[in-house]
Structure 1
Amino acid sequence: MTIPYGYAKGTVISAPSLKPTRRDHETQYHLHFSVQVADEVWDVAVNVGTNDSDDLLKYKLVFDYRHPLIQTLQASPAGKNDLTDVNALPALDFVRSDLLGTTGRWRDSAVMDGSDTPEPVASLTRLIEKALSEKFDVYVFGRFYSEGNGIHDAHMNQGSKGRYIHRPNSDQNDHNAVWQDGAVLIDCRQPEWAAYFAAFEQQYLPTDDLGNPTPSSSPIS
């Protein structure tokens, strides 16, 4: 099945809050905050790390992000922008586009302990709080909630193994896919844009046309 995907354009209306989610053998941590998306209030969940030292988050937090995608986003309407089944920009694919071409190396997150001091939690929190106070336009890419107004999976959504393998004609609602990567971009007003990209150490590249790791793939690290 195709997973509903796209981005929400709006303004932050609440301070970010760190929340844990138990997943199999690990606890993942997300920054949750509310965004005014047209005439609706959406919940946003952004992955910032895990307590599993064998599958840590890799991230890029760029404060001078530049890419032609910016002009497309600025011209887009505020609200929900559905990009399901779109196989080109402005849908995001870290492998099949040049989005990350000038963003530097991936950084290793800390092992999360539930506090808001490890990176990237601390820096991303400050950025979201600035977006709140300055009323910056925020663009959150990911997968839409199946119930209610919200967006999550704001990280790379391909290259995973195990239960995330994409099998054609399956009714699985959480699997690898191409052109469905997540991110957060913030218009800090000309000329500055900030961008947050994330992936997990146990995601493998390159990927095939379904977003699954190829036989010759290796961990993103």
Structure 2
Amino acid sequence: MPVRDYGIWKGFPAHYELEDRFEDPKSPHLSLYYHDNNAKMPQFDRDYRHKHKGNPPNKQKPREIPGLFRAAINIKSTGKESRLAYWVNHNIVEHPIAKKLSNLDFGFHPIEELTDFDGKGLDFIRGNLFTTQSGRVLPHDIPGTNNDIIDVLEPEVKKAIHHKATIYLFGSMFNTRNGIHNVHMNQGNIPRFVKDDGVFQDGGLLIEYDDHWTGVFLAFASQAAHTDDHNGHAFAKHLVTWADVLPKEIIENSVAIKEALINPRGRDDRSAKEKEFVTLENLTNHRVALASWRFHNAAGQVQALPHNAALDSRAMKRFEMSNCPLSNNGDTITLLNEEGLRVDGVSYGARQGATEGRPIVFAH
């Protein structure tokens, strides 16, 4: 198997450190510290690495924390295409691999020693671990919220630590045997890393909670989305990468206008107890920040959304329209993002607007 010392490490997450664009702009990592002592949490210094937080990397200061193992998780590629592809499967418990993992003892297990696995680890292409089109291609660290790999990966790690979950790390054990790396896709590589190609040897992080499992999977955007079944190499003549396959950040079809209360009961002015509102629905599997988004009506009036407005995955939320009145005689409602681009738009007629106290529901 091209990736050396590949296997599965079962343990408990204890701490994490992130390298942002200031600490390491070239080859940053998320260091997930863990232990495999089922009896108790080892003692360790949580501030061991904090002294240089926010500064360029200190080569004299080791990334390891005494008393813990470290999973070195790449959060940026060193190549020209530096972005990562990211998938999360909150229903990985339905995959056959979950049952096999739950039976493992704590510690590191070389894949060839696990009879239940037949020498096969994870495979992003052949293993049906996630729905391909649910993935995102994200940069390492840029200003804003929910728009880079740190924004989406950190909450999963925090949650695992907070809930004292059990983790299963797929990858290569360090030569020093005090941690694991290659916790990402290990096939379809660019020529520089083609020696690491192989099938059923991808890295990943699976998290077991009391009531559910979550799978977190990372690949480099430059890696091939289709590889040879025998050696895991990319098809050079017909190269298709994750950057090519995964959907771009689509503006439309991300947030929808679900319903609108056009004609509240009572007086039709600012003193009315019941206010006009529009309900937005997040159609994506990730959180969407709505800062600087706004509504427009047909008259050109504008209702800005609150600066801290956001929608969690698949969530809905109401927003009052105090500065953008909606006509009972028919109107249009347009939702624009922070760049002024149309995200969604609906219209209704006088008959719908005449109904008092009942929101109009818009089909999408």
| Common fold: TM-score over 0.5 | yes
| 1:220 corresponds to 2:242 | yes
Aligned residue type for 2:218: A
2:83 to 30, 33, 56: 56
Quote the Cα distance in structure 2 between the aligned partners of 1:53 and 1:78. Answer: 38
1:64-83 to structure 2, matched below 5 A, reads 64-65=91-92, 66-83=94-111
Quote the Cα distance in structure 1 between the aligned partners of 2:177 and 2:100. Answer: 27
Task: Name the SS for the 1:125 alignment partner.
Answer: helix
Q: Which residue does the alignment assign to 2:19?
A: 19
Change (3 A) 1:84 1:55: farther
| 1:204 corresponds to 2:204 | no
Change (3 A) 1:107 1:121: same
Quote the Cα distance in structure 2 between the aligned partners of 1:115 and 1:81. Answer: 40
1:159-198 to structure 2, matched below 5 A, reads 159-166=188-195, 175-190=196-211, 192-198=212-218
Q: Which residue does the alignment assign to 1:172?
A: none
| 1:41 corresponds to 2:31 | no
Contact 1:156 1:182 in 2 (8 A): yes
Answer with 1 or 2: which has the greater Rg.
2
Q: Which residue does the alignment assign to 2:158?
A: 129
Quote the Cα distance in structure 1 between the aligned partners of 2:143 and 2:71. Answer: 19
Structure with the bigger RCO (C-alpha within 8 Å, sep 6+) is 1
State which drifts further: 207-216 or 27-36.
Answer: 207-216
Contact 1:183 1:198 in 2 (8 A): yes
Normalising by the residue count of structure 2, what TM-score does the alignment of the two structures yield? Answer: 0.50
Contact 2:84 2:218 in 1 (8 A): yes
1:157 to 168, 186, 210: 186
Q: Which residue does the alignment assign to 2:128?
A: 98
Change (3 A) 1:131 1:111: closer
Task: Name the SS for the 2:122 alignment partner.
Answer: coil
Across the aligned residues of Structure 1 and Structure 2, the Cα RMSD in angstroms comes to 3.0
TM-superposition CA deviations, 1:102-134 (whole Å, max 9, x none): 464220113435999753313322222222122
Q: Which has the higher strand share?
A: 1
Change (3 A) 1:186 1:52: same
Change (3 A) 1:68 1:129: same
Contact 1:205 1:214 in 2 (8 A): no
User: What fraction of aligned residue pairs are identical, expressed as a percent?
Assistant: 27
Normalising by the residue count of structure 1, what TM-score does the alignment of the two structures yield? Answer: 0.80
Change (3 A) 1:30 1:155: same
Quote the Cα distance in structure 2 between the aligned partners of 1:18 and 1:116. Answer: 16
State which drifts further: 104-113 or 86-95.
Answer: 86-95
Contact 2:141 2:149 in 1 (8 A): no
Moved over 6 A (4+): 114-117
Task: Name the SS for the 1:35 alignment partner.
Answer: strand
Task: Name the SS for the 2:155 alignment partner.
Answer: helix
Task: Name the SS for the 1:126 alignment partner.
Answer: helix
Contact 1:9 1:80 in 2 (8 A): yes
Contact 1:51 1:111 in 2 (8 A): no
Task: Name the SS for the 1:28 alignment partner.
Answer: coil
TM-superposition CA deviations, 1:43-72 (whole Å, max 9, x none): 111222358673310101233333111111
In structure 1, stretches of 5+ residues that fail to align are: 167-174
Structure 1 residue 177: deviation in Å?
Answer: 1.8
**Count of aligned positions:** 206
